[in-house]
Amino acid sequence: MMDDLFIRLGLSQKESTAFLELVRLGACPVSTWAKHANINRTSMYVMMERFKSLGLVNTFVHKGIMYVQAIRMAEISALLYDKERVMETTRGLLEKYLADLQKLEKTHGITPKVRFYEGKNRVEAMYEEVVDERSFKAFFNPERVKRVMPVYFHKIPQMLKAHGGRAKELLIRCKEAEEYLSLYKSEKHEILMLPRDVKFSSDTIITEQKIFLVGYSEDDVVATEIWNEELAQTQSVLFDLVWEKTR
């Protein structure tokens, strides 16, 4: 769907629909756009300013009336190129100052204990933290991960092996689980299949100090990171009980 393109550019579903309506209308007064998009005029002005900040619309005054116009669709490629250049520059600055930022981070007296991640991009950031862990235990639904976050179906076990880490995973039975087991089971990466009647659509990853909870729906993914050693130890003991029963 065309909506997907503009959602990836940072628009919400509502904003994407409104923008496509403007593309269809062409240059028009804001009031006309608001009427056709079924959005009240005040909200439409707010939305218009956001579109302007993203470089998606231009405005001009004709006979004392403000008009708004979407950029030509051919210009979106240039817009993406500009965003890539900004990201490259930002990435360079981050690499330059990362060591200093990490030193500054360590001097802060309060560490967040719970973090929430919503959407694939944010959950990818959480998975990158899991990749850095040298050991973990997990209740794992391979079918959901391979469908929703396919890169991490392979990346986490591959990085674990590269780090010389250890893992124990209890998998929901499915064809993806059989593939995962055949690829990654080893002495240091132990894998067991849960009984066929055990089903769940979320994942739980347990490390020495953290618990990562990941929920997958048909069109979204959310996660919670809990940094508490006592809770992590409790979950680890419960995992071990299930592990022994599953053997």
Q: Return d(Cα 49, Cα 58) in angstroms, integer.
A: 10
Closest CA to 225 of 126, 131, 135, 156: 126
Compute the average pLDDT of residues 154-181: 93
With beta carbons less than 8 A apart as the criterion, state whether 167 and 137 touch: yes
pLDDT for res 135: 93
Domain 2-75: which CATH class?
A: mainly alpha
Reported as a single tens digit per residue, the pLDDT across 32-45 is: 999 999 999 899 99
Q: Return d(Cα 112, Cα 227) in angstroms, integer.
A: 8
Amino acid (one-letter) located at 168? K
Describe the chain by its helix, strand, coil percentages, rounded to 5.
55, 20, 25
pLDDT for res 4: 75
User: C-alpha dihedral over 175, 180, 183, 186, to 10 degrees?
Assistant: -130
Query: Could you give phi then psi for residue 120, rounded to 5 degrees?
Result: -60, -40
Compute the average pLDDT of residues 196-219: 90
With beta carbons less than 8 A apart as the criterion, state whether 33 and 68 touch: yes
Share of the chain above pLDDT 90, in %: 55
Reported as a single tens digit per residue, the pLDDT across 31-82 is: 999 999 999 989 999 999 999 988 899 999 988 899 999 999 888 888 888 8
Q: Return d(Cα 242, Cα 245) in angstroms, integer.
A: 5
Q: Is the pLDDT of residue 121 over 60?
A: yes
With respect to CATH, is domain 111-246 assigned 3.10.50.40? no
pTM above 0.75, yes or no: no
* Bridge partners, residue 65, by sequence: 62
* Bridge partners, residue 29, by sequence: 67
Reported as a single tens digit per residue, the pLDDT across 91-114 is: 888 888 888 887 776 655 555 589
Domain map of the chain by residue range?
A: 2-75, 111-246
